[in-house]
Amino acid sequence: MSRALVVYESVFGDARAIALAIADGLSASLPADVVPAGQAPTEIGADVALVVVGGPNHALGMPKPATRVSAVRQYGADVPDPGVGLREWLEAVRVRSPGVPAAAFDTRSGGHPMLTRMDHAARTEQKALGKLGTKIVAPAEHFFVADTRGPLVDGEEARAREWGRTLAELVATAS
Ligand SMILES: Cc1cc2nc3c(=O)[nH]c(=O)nc-3n(C[C@H](O)[C@H](O)[C@H](O)COP(=O)(O)O)c2cc1C
C-alpha cells in the first residue's frame, strides 16, 4: 500500500509537532510514517507516494553541525549528535522511484520581513529534493514559532494539518 514519508529535524520539538500535524492531515487519504532524520531510511522505496521533509531555520538556512552546537551552547538544547540531521540525510538518501512527489517545510522565528525573505532553509531542502530526483508538487511552507525554543504560534498546527490535506489531494489528482 502507498504511504507518505515525513522526515524531520527538530531541536526544540516544534518542527516535530508540525511534521506530526502534516501526517495527521495526510492520513485521511494517505497513511504517513513520521521519522526523525537520524532514523529515516537510507532509501526511499517504491511504495512511498509522497516525501515531505522539514526542519528549523538556523542562521538563515538549514541546520548544520555548527548551528546545532550553537543551539546547545546558547539555548541549552539537547542535541545528542550535532553531525546528524536533515541536511546529512538528504545528502545520503537514495530514491527508488524518480519523480516521486515531494514537498518541504521549515519552522522559523519570524523577525524582520527582510530577514525572513533571506531565510532559505526550505528552499535548500527543495533543491536537495530536486537533486535526488523527486518532483516538488507544492511550494515550500513556513511555520512560525513565538521564540527560539518555541512554542509554535497559535494556529500553526492547524495550518500544518490543512497543508497535509492539500498535499494528499495533490498526490491523488496527480496519480
Ligand atoms: C542556532 C540557531 C539559529 C537560528 N537562526 C534563525 C534564523 O536565522 N531565522 C529564524 O527565523 N529563526 C532562527 N532560529 C530559530 C529557529 O528557527 C527555531 O528555534 C526553530 O524554528 C524551532 O524549531 P524546533 O523546535 O523544531 O527546533 C535559530 C535558532 C537557533 C538555535
Look at residue 17 and tell me whether its pLDDT is greater than 90.
Answer: yes
Task: Determine the pLDDT at residue 102.
Answer: 97
The CA–CA distances, whole Å, from 69 to 48, 49, 131 equal 33, 35, 27
Q: How far is the CA of 20 from the centre of ligand 1 (A)?
A: 19
* Domain CATH for 59: 3.40.50.360
Tens of pLDDT, residues 25-69 = 999 899 999 999 999 999 999 999 999 999 999 998 999 999 999
Tens of pLDDT, residues 81-96 = 999 999 999 999 999 9
Q: Tell me the best of 148, 149, 152, 153 to mutate to test the pocket of ligand 1, counting ligand atoms within 8 Å of each CB and taking the most.
A: 148
Total structural domains in the chain?
1
Report how far residue 40's alpha carbon sits from residue 92's, in angstroms, rounded to the nearest whole number: 11
Look at residue 11 and tell me whether its pLDDT is greater than 90.
Answer: yes
The arithmetic mean of pLDDT across residues 87-116, rounded, is: 89
Task: Determine the pLDDT at residue 111.
Answer: 62
Q: Does residue 75 have its Cβ closer than 6 Å to ligand 1?
A: yes
Nearest ligand 1 atom, CA 110: 11
Q: Does residue 27 have its Cβ closer than 6 Å to ligand 1?
A: no
Q: How far is the CA of 99 from the centre of ligand 1 (A)?
A: 31
Q: Does residue 66 have its Cβ closer than 6 Å to ligand 1?
A: no
Nearest ligand 1 atom, CA 77: 31
Look at residue 116 and tell me whether its pLDDT is greater than 80.
Answer: no
Burial (CB < 10 A; 0-12, 13-18, 19+), residue 117, is exposed
Closest C-alpha to ligand 1, atom 3: 58
The CA–CA distances, whole Å, from 47 to 16, 50, 67, 90, 105 equal 23, 9, 34, 19, 22
Q: How far is the CA of 140 from the centre of ligand 1 (A)?
A: 17
Closest C-alpha to ligand 1, atom 19: 148
Query: What's the pTM?
Result: 0.97
Q: Which domain holds residue 62?
A: 3-174
Q: How far is the CA of 118 from the centre of ligand 1 (A)?
A: 14
Tens of pLDDT, residues 124-174 = 999 999 999 999 999 999 999 999 999 999 999 999 999 999 999 999 887
Task: Determine the pLDDT at residue 46.
Answer: 93
Place 115 in a pLDDT band, splitting at 50, 70 and 90.
Answer: low
In the 3-class helix/strand/coil scheme, how is 26-53 assigned residue by residue?
HCCCCCEEEEEHHHCCCEECCCEEEEEE
Task: Determine the pLDDT at residue 120.
Answer: 83
